[in-house]
Amino acid sequence: MKIFTSSQIKELDNYTIEHEPIKSIDLMERAARVLTRAITERWSPTVPIVVFAGPGNNGGDALAVARMLIEKDYQVQTFLFNITGHLSADCAENKRRLCDKKGRSLLTEVTQEFDPPQLEKGTLVVDGLFGSGLNKPLAGGFASLVKYINASKADIVSIDVPSGLMTEDNTYNVSNNIICATQTLTLGQQKLSFLFSENQKYIGQLRILDIGLSQEGINAIDSQYTLVDETTIRDLLMPRDAFAHKGQMGHALIIAGSYGMAGAAILATQACLRSGVGKVTVHCPKRNVPIMQTAVPEAIIHIDREETTFSEGVQTEDFQAVGIGPGLGTSEQTAISLISQIRRTQCPLVIDADALNILSIRRAWMQQLPKGVIMTPHPKELDRMEGKSIDSFERLSKARELAERIQGYIVLKGHYTAVCMPDGHIAFNSTGNAGMATAGSGDVLTGIITALLARGYDRARACVIGVFLHGLAGDLAASELGEESLIASDIIRYLPKAFMKVKNNK
């Protein structure tokens, strides 16, 4: 699914109007019918409704919804804010249509002073003040109105976007001047700002409503952002040759686990083995060897000369991919060994965890990263590398800039993990849950991506497929075990089911 900017949303509306063809007022009517259906599915006619409509097309949607709710015998009180004396053409037309509902319409047009209605518990507020076209924080009377609505005990349903929230960058927005919706009914596609954790308090329950926007137009508009779904992943998976042998399925190298952190190496190695690779070699210090051979008997062990740390690089001619970093430690000796390993690695390389922490305090080494390198930071690790960010949008922007600068792939982990590509494109993952916020989850992801690279997937596909399967395995585990009890090894245990679900659509 493509995610469009506010300007692209307007472009898609215009494309639909021109090529369907359909009049803009009729497209608004179609959207209002879908919105009304969603509202009536949740709230009965016994619920009093107060509609707040702005002067633009979001307000036009709200006025059309008010009319349709009245036609279904809902008790509706509508306030249209026309402070400047100018309404969009479609908003003005829907004002006229609402006023034609004589005897059943209660419309107040606000031009100057405003005496707000009582918003009691059990009332539903329909927020149609401002939509996806908003490009600056709300101020003055509209900010006061938003605060008044938020302070009430009424349920709030926002049309398309909670008023005051911008569709992309809210870094310098005023949080108190944004509607906190019970439910957001967004039109057409997911909005970029909906993917950021700090904005969830404004969105409430999200529903994406299909209003019949042109599929041809969606295909024609080039978006920098996509939300990856199961259908996309199914099309990316390679078939497994019935006559394949382990030598044809790739050989991965995992470099992980200082003494006391063998668990990180175990998780990364087990996940790698469960992700379709033919062979896995794990390089670890001497004291971890008995643990590794007991926990992962399928793996080949390559033993470091040191007892407790990673101290020497490994030749990579025999490997198709390398994953390095989980539980590695950050000692000076390990740091020197890391840069040595990076220099000598000729195959695709995944850098995670302690390897990222080492690079964050030795910034000059970033210039030595090979083209196409994959780094998998969580937000704090990215902040250590690129500087602290005010919010998720700024952090995402830094991740994209880093990917472009080093011509590599930045997998920024989170609820919607973002795969930032060297060309500036960002693919968001749609799987995963809060139960995966547990130690070792990132080590599992490193193993999965490393395996897919060794298996023969290109870097972009390995990242996108890897984060999707990682999240899906977590979802399957949570569905049976619950989010509270989920641990990293559960993700590995459910990887087979994740692969089967994607391949077999079950």
Which amino acid appears at position 197 of this protein?
S
Q: State how far the Cα of 239 lies from the Cα of 439, in Å rounded to an integer.
A: 32
Domain ranges, ordered by start, for the chain: 2-223, 230-504
Which amino acid appears at position 467 of this protein?
V
- SS3 of 417-439: the string is CEEECCCCCEEEECCCCHHHCCC
What are the tokens at 54? Answer: 């702005």
pLDDT of residue 106: 86
- Determine phi and psi for 360, rounding to 5 degrees: -65, -25
Which amino acid appears at position 479 of this protein?
S
What are the tokens at 175? Answer: 């949080």
Cα torsion through 134, 140, 142, 143, rounded to 10? 90
- CATH architecture for segment(s) 230-504: 3-Layer(aba) Sandwich (3.40)
pLDDT of residue 220: 97
pLDDT of residue 178: 98
pLDDT of residue 379: 98
Cis amide leading into 162 (omega within 30) = no
State the DSSP string of 179-242. ---SEEEEESS--GGGGSGGGHHHH-EEEEE-----HHHHHHS--SEEEE-HHHHHHHPPPPPT
pLDDT digits (tens, 9 = 90+) for 71-113: 999 999 999 999 999 999 999 999 999 998 765 568 999 999 8
For 140-190, where are the alpha helices, taking DSSP H only? 140-151
pLDDT of residue 101: 79
- CATH topology (fold) of 2-223: Rossmann fold (3.40.50)
Cβ 309 vs Cβ 334: under 8 Å: yes
Mean pLDDT by 10 residues, the chain (506 residues): 97 98 98 98 98 98 97 96 97 95 79 94 98 97 98 98 98 98 97 98 98 98 97 96 95 98 98 98 98 98 98 96 98 98 97 98 96 98 97 98 98 98 98 98 98 98 98 98 98 98 87
